[in-house]
A and B are shown apart, each in its own frame.
Chain A
């Protein structure tokens, strides 16, 4: 792992036991996160974005879920191999996470202030109680919560979704983590709040030189937030590229479909949006070979085999047989 990178995921496979047997929710996930930069993880609902994020922090629910193989290298240290105590020290302090659902992610029976200072109790035991309370207040100020003194003494149910997500961000940032995993932090919020939260995350990233994994299914958000993009489809990586490259020169038919489905200003109003036909196959009835074959407009016979990864350009890779002969295999 080069010195520009802080986190590297290699060949990650995570599976769940379900009624229809053992299924791999994500398979062979490999990508690198640059120091101080943002990497976007996009894909339709159910493609394994959250599972990837939870695997990094080893928060996959046991015993139903299990990380079968792979490496999660954080500064050359494999997080999947360290003992639980070391993992507890990394969670929150080095790698923090913001979750998809601000409405349920906070504990309903504890005050906001307590939930923020709990993080400091865990990772900054040298701080006094007063310092912790002051820090919590500063954090709420920083994430732009009006009247923070009062908020500290309120319970989650007294706050709106946007404020709760800000509290989650304040909490995640309380120990100045090096990596922030933001799992669809704005999906549950309305558009204006969404823009505010995204701006906030960008500002805070600059301040702390934080690296971010930004999960979303909205390519517009990716364009605004990230330097690199990982496109996932049905548990596998379809394409990886820097953001401008991906938008200019998409290689995988799925990425093309995603880009075409973004509404544009020069579209004729009230016409149908381009959408990708069909639905994502369920994980227990995946087709043999390429997982996108049942929806792909360019499907060929060869797609019954597993597509290799082709290197389009430096940092731009895609996994599709259309690229065979044009680019070299990985």
Chain B
């Protein structure tokens, strides 16, 4: 068991190197990097100085920077060296905790990520809790009440949630509960007077601000897990060992909770670690709708702006999270299923 996990932990290293090297190479090959952006900025500045009479397209084509300046820029961004060399320089810095500076905002990447982290952790953590604490009981109820009104009506609701994108639900909720009825705020994470509130009211304030976005986050995520739970439980209810349990004199209810349920949690546990990474990825669309400054938005903007240090920084954190999540899945499965042995 122990050696197994040590081996799994060691396996993170090559996987991590593979992922980061791949993305690092892509950032080099994709057009529109930081140098192109600076060139464009300079062009726009020149164009503004000279006034709009000058033909814009013509200026665009000419190169405003001298070769000297270009080389300086390349050197600054490390583009003068071969990919592998600059990858290892980047890696060396990452290992010392230096994530570099944003090429767009010139802020340290780590600070930018750490600033966004709490809000994403908040949403990710609560989403996970809500999703699991609704899907598992709901799946159990649906399995026991298979083909009854409860089962069918919840199926309809769950599938509606699955079919509508989260940001659409977000907009609808905002229109209805924030604009029309003004029950919930339009956006943001806290009220203006947040720091004057006592602890209890602070919690209420955050919950009040995050109810709608949380709902939009989780509403689409019920289908998969609920039906996984329902179907595996139904399989187990028809299994031989549940019949054995009944033949011993257990009631149907105890047979479910003492025998069928634990077996049904095995596939659920398999997926648990992978879901951990939603803590960080978030959804930039929902974040946009609700005006939340989370990791989803940061990641999206950094890609659009070709802000490669930020892209790589987020990649480092999310891939590490994903890889440890996988190991966590294995641990969860080993806890519920004694047949799983790590050698």
Contacts and interface: CB of A to CB of B under 8 A. Distances in A.
Interface of A: 57, 59, 61, 84, 88-93, 96-97, 99, 101, 104-111, 118-119, 122-123, 155, 157, 168, 171
Contacts of A101: 240
Interface in B245-303: 245-251, 258-259, 262-263
A92 B249 contact: yes
Contacts of A59: 243, 246-247
B37 to A, nearest CB: 57
A92 B247 contact: yes
A91 to B, nearest CB: 4
Contact of B336 (A84, A107, A109): A109
Given A88-B251, A108-B263, A122-B248, 10 more contacts: A61-B238, A96-B248, A101-B240, A105-B241, A105-B243, A106-B244, A107-B245, A109-B337, A119-B248, A168-B244
A104 B245 CA distance: 12
A107 B246 contact: no
A57 B244 CA distance: 11
Contacts of B343: none
A104 B339 contact: no
B contact residues, range: 20 to 34
B244 A155 contact: no
A108 B249 contact: no
Contacts of A109: 262-263, 336-338
B263 A107 contact: yes
B265 to A, nearest CB: 9
Interface majority SS on B: helix, strand, loop or mixed?
helix
A99 B244 contact: yes
A88 B263 contact: no
A110 B337 CA distance: 9
Contacts of A119: 248-249
A88 B248 CA distance: 8
B259 A88 contact: no
A106 to B, nearest CB: 6
B259 A107 contact: yes
Nearest to A93: B249
B249 A99 contact: no
Nearest to A61: B238
Contacts of B249: 88-93, 119, 122-123
Interface string B136-165: 000000000000000000000000000000
